[in-house]
Amino acid sequence: MLTAGSGTGSGDAAARGAIRRNNVSVVLRHLRRGARSRTEISRDLGLPNSTVSKLVGELVELGLVTDDERRRAGGIGRPHQAVALRAGARCGLGVEISVNYIRVIALDLPGDVLLDDRAPVDHDRRNHRATLDLTADLVAAALTALRATGTAVTGVTVAAPGHVDRDTGVVRLATNLGWSDLPLATELADRLGPGAPLVRVDNDARLGTVAEHRVAHVPSLLYLTGEVGVAGGIVVDDTLVLGAAHSAGELGHMPLDPRGAACPCGQRGCFETMVGLGTFLSYAADATDPLRDQRRDLEERLALGTARAAAGDARTVRAVDRIAADLGLGLGLLVNVLDPAVVVLGGYFSHLGEPLLSRVRAEVTGRVLAPHAGGCDVRLSRLGFTAAARGAAETVLDDVFTDPAAFGVPVP
Ligand SMILES: [Zn+2]
């Protein structure tokens, strides 16, 4: 929120400093929506031109924005959309540890991807060390590459599945990885050594929801992501629903079939057992099929599956249909309860494309009481498997947008 100076001459320099710091943050956050001229910033935020010029100047000094208006002073033509977030200067590093892969993504202030690296992983459920070693190696390589290009790394946020304590960085329970009470933030920080950026940990689906919300441009959204686990997030009035115990979004553990398959959570017939990645793969192929080879890159395997479906392979088409029908069952329930403007299908669902989407839309429309599903728009994610790592990187950058003065970068 914008704060105006009272000008009462109270002499409270500290208070004025806090106001200016807040206003610098307001201008920087406004630029997250896109480049603006100083006049536009002034109009949009209701600040005098002279104040905007000072605040923009401060952000230029901090190395967080570029100001072509200043560069073009004295030049010809009307300057427009001249103030922009500075590309490549500072980034957040997001890391996702999933059952199938580890992914590292660096986003800069304008939200552009500076680095996107991933490695398949075959977890040893009895020993988490190999997974953490591989994660630390990927993060260390990313830090080296980013520093070599002169990009400052603000921090590292790791997206982990299951119940995660954000305050302590401990993964309380991740059933699909076999982790319980694992101090993930500490373990990674120890491996990265001194001088590494601060490491934090959050829930993968929650971070994926943050990323999807940022690109969806709607105030209410339901995100459902499919990997081996199925989870999601709920956004209402542009606010992520955390819940009383910060564990909202365990959409995969709605028991929809009391006589269904056993779930790692201890229940039977959870949504996850019906529409999770493992279930789709077992519907679509035998255990020895390359589609189910854990050592191969998951996105390459899914491309193989969609190619088979496109070619009319009966087993694959049936598998997609069955997943779509069960997705419709769970989503119909959720849309009736939550009435979101948009449902985003992420993870492997987004890779199954139009055949899955059209069937799910029909199922949801048939199950939601409001006419035409209340106008709810079911979409495939454009971020796919990158959503959690992108959301993680964005939450790192939130620190910069909240307090730019604490995160200046040298201006070359
Ligand atoms: Zn379950």
Contact 200, 158 (CB under 8 A): yes
Reading the chain (412 residues) residue by residue, the pLDDT tens digits are: 555 544 455 567 888 888 888 899 999 999 998 899 999 999 999 999 999 999 999 999 999 999 986 555 555 555 555 899 999 999 999 999 998 899 999 999 999 999 999 998 877 777 789 999 999 999 999 999 999 999 999 999 999 998 999 999 999 999 889 999 999 999 999 999 999 999 999 999 999 999 999 999 899 999 999 998 999 999 999 999 999 888 888 999 999 999 999 998 899 999 999 999 999 999 999 999 999 998 888 999 999 999 999 999 999 999 999 999 999 999 999 999 999 999 999 999 999 999 999 999 999 999 999 988 889 999 999 999 999 999 999 999 999 999 999 987 766 6
Rounded Cα gap, residues 64 and 109, in angstroms: 8
Query: Sign of the C-alpha dihedral, residues 160, 164, 170, 172?
Result: negative
Rounded Cα gap, residues 77 and 57, in angstroms: 21
178 Cα–ligand 1 center, Å: 14
51 Cα–ligand 1 center, Å: 55
230 Cα–ligand 1 center, Å: 9
199 Cα–ligand 1 center, Å: 29
CA distances from residue 355 to 111, 264, 275, 377, 391 in whole angstroms, order as listed: 31, 29, 15, 16, 27
252 Cα–ligand 1 center, Å: 6
Rounded Cα gap, residues 174 and 164, in angstroms: 8
251 Cα–ligand 1 center, Å: 9
288 Cα–ligand 1 center, Å: 26
Rounded Cα gap, residues 324 and 231, in angstroms: 16
287 Cα–ligand 1 center, Å: 23
97 Cα–ligand 1 center, Å: 20
126 Cα–ligand 1 center, Å: 21
Judged by DSSP in three states, 81 sits in coil
290 Cα–ligand 1 center, Å: 27
According to DSSP, residue 157 is labeled E
278 Cα–ligand 1 center, Å: 14
For residue 6, the model assigns a pLDDT of: 47
229 Cα–ligand 1 center, Å: 9
116 Cα–ligand 1 center, Å: 31
395 Cα–ligand 1 center, Å: 28
244 Cα–ligand 1 center, Å: 20
SS (H, E, C) 5-63: CCCCCCCCHHHHHHHHHHHHHHHHHHHCCCCECHHHHHHHHCCCHHHHHHHHHHHHHCC
261 Cα–ligand 1 center, Å: 10
285 Cα–ligand 1 center, Å: 23
For residue 91, the model assigns a pLDDT of: 97
258 Cα–ligand 1 center, Å: 11
For residue 69, the model assigns a pLDDT of: 62
Tokens matching residue 234: 């709920």
For residue 7, the model assigns a pLDDT of: 47
